[in-house]
Amino acid sequence: MKNKICSISTIKAPLKETLLWVNYHLNIGIDHMFICFDDPNDLTINKLKDNKRVTCIKCDEEHLKEIIPAGGTIKDVNLQEKLEFNAKFVFNLIKQKDYDWMFAHIDSDELMYVEGDLKEFLGGINKSTEVICLLPLDSVPEKDYYKNVFQEVTLFRNLGKIARFYYPNKKLLQKIIPLVKKREGSMAGVYFRGHAAGKSIVRTNVKIKRFPGHRPVGEDGNELVQEFTSKANVLHFNACGFDVWKSKWLNKHNRKNPTQNMNKGKVKLYCQFVHAYKNGSEEDLKKLYRSQSNISPMLKTIFLTAGLLRKIKLDKNLFKDE
């Protein structure tokens, strides 16, 4: 089969959302999903064990033994180490199979979004392209609670042409304009949220050294040929709903070093949460959630007109079991 594609993910998410997420990606045309479960006892594993288009991998000590430090335990392996190990593990695994592409690191709160047929999209990619870069469309929550976030959230931030110009020219721009590097990722305003760099689809015949979160690194320092497409994106459902938002901040707050790897903008948001959590009521937290997540009606109108917001309503049939 031409343009056969698989995906690799490392996840920890509720059962219902995970099954909807799996159904969607199989229905849009991903041929096989390799899912590494951060919790080896995840109930979803049993639900998916008979699905021939899904391989469930338990992130237990046996699987991760290569990256557990000497004298340490699985608790000493951080999430980024797991992500990179799992991606390289699957990338090596599929060398013996007939996949043409691997979608790296798609998270459980992300959906691949293609305008048209997935296989036709892949068939239209330049033959010299080694990495397809999918930029994110980051969600805009419009209410406090959701029953089905993938169906109910329909508004997304769209960096569009700005991001497709910036990321291919990132190194040059940061040399010419040092302020770009200093300020990148630190904008904590009402529009810019989430990870602006997106995710990647990689040709399986490329030599890869590492799989960091957004872009793979080639062996021997080789620069990989990248294509920033306008025909596909990652829909990022970023902390949609008060309970999800609160849980994500609490998970960070309960870490040994909560602000590790946070940029200044994210630290500011975190400090706002800690202050409201310790000193305020539940209603104060909800007000903070709205201020950090929502966009005012006036700005929505402006951003929609300018193309900085997009309305996308996904077909409910894409979430049905095969």
Taking only the tens place, the pLDDT of each residue in 276-301 is 999 888 999 999 999 988 888 898 89
pLDDT of residue 162: 58
Residue 231: name the closest of 100, 116, 128 by CA. Answer: 116
Task: For each of the domains in the chain, give its residue range(s) and CATH number, in order of start.
Answer: 5-241+307-319 (3.90.550)
Q: How many residues does the chain have?
A: 322
Residue 239 CB neighbour total at 10 angstroms: 22
Mean pLDDT, residues 206-226: 89
**Per-residue pLDDT tens over the stretch 219-233:** 887 889 999 998 999
φ/ψ (deg, to 5) at 212: -60, 180
Give burial (CB, 10 Å; 0-12/13-18/19+) of 297: exposed
pLDDT of residue 173: 47
**Per-residue pLDDT tens over the stretch 116-162:** 999 999 999 999 999 999 989 999 999 999 999 999 999 998 876 55
pLDDT of residue 260: 81
Lowest mean pLDDT of 13-17, 182-186, 221-225, name the range. Answer: 182-186
Residue 253 CB neighbour total at 10 angstroms: 14
pLDDT of residue 99: 95
Contact 104, 200 (CB under 8 A): yes
Question: What pTM was estimated for this model as a whole?
Answer: 0.86
pLDDT of residue 85: 96
pLDDT of residue 5: 97
pLDDT of residue 179: 45
